[in-house]
Amino acid sequence: MELVNRLAGRGHIIYLTLLILLTSSGAYYLGFHNAATTTQLCQAINGNRHRQVILWQYLIAAFPPAHETPEARRQRLRADHTLIIAVDRIFAPSNCQHP
């Protein structure tokens, strides 16, 4: 009977210990779940970055001036090429393996 009384007196300690273990394991599980979600989010962002590059390439090449001299065309193409390189650098995909 004395053992039962001692365990009943320490029931709150057992309860709190179990509660701590359950919340810790739940947080551990959610940490793994969020890691997968972070990778998926990174991949979605990379998809959006790729679409931005395609859009900028279209906008740069779609509307050349109607009447331009050969020299003006060379300068425009050189500037377009520089801009496309900058767009590629700005919207470069992220490494989703190590976010």
pLDDT tens column, 5-43: 666 667 667 777 777 877 887 777 777 666 667 888 899
pLDDT at position 51: 94
pLDDT band at residue 65 using 50, 70 and 90 as cut-offs:
confident
Question: Is residue 97 one of the residues assigned to a domain?
Answer: no
pLDDT at position 5: 67
Question: Is residue 96 one of the residues assigned to a domain?
Answer: no
> Can you tell me the distance from the alpha carbon of 89 to that of 82, in angstroms, rounded to the nearest whole number?
11
Question: Is residue 9 one of the residues assigned to a domain?
Answer: yes
pLDDT at position 36: 65
pLDDT at position 25: 78
Please classify residue 44 by burial: count the beta carbons closer than 10 Å to its beta carbon, then call 0-12 exposed, 13-18 middle and 19+ buried.
Answer: exposed
pLDDT at position 35: 66
Look at the chain and report how many structural domains it folds into. 1
Tell me the mean pLDDT in the region 39-61: 92
Q: Where are the alpha helices (DSSP H) in 10-69?
A: 11-62
Q: Which residue range(s) make up the domain with 71?
A: 2-90
Q: Mean pLDDT, the chain, as a whole number?
A: 84
Question: Is residue 99 one of the residues assigned to a domain?
Answer: no
Question: Is residue 7 one of the residues assigned to a domain?
Answer: yes
pLDDT at position 7: 61
Question: Is residue 24 one of the residues assigned to a domain?
Answer: yes
> Can you tell me the distance from the alpha carbon of 83 to that of 58, in angstroms, rounded to the nearest whole number?
12
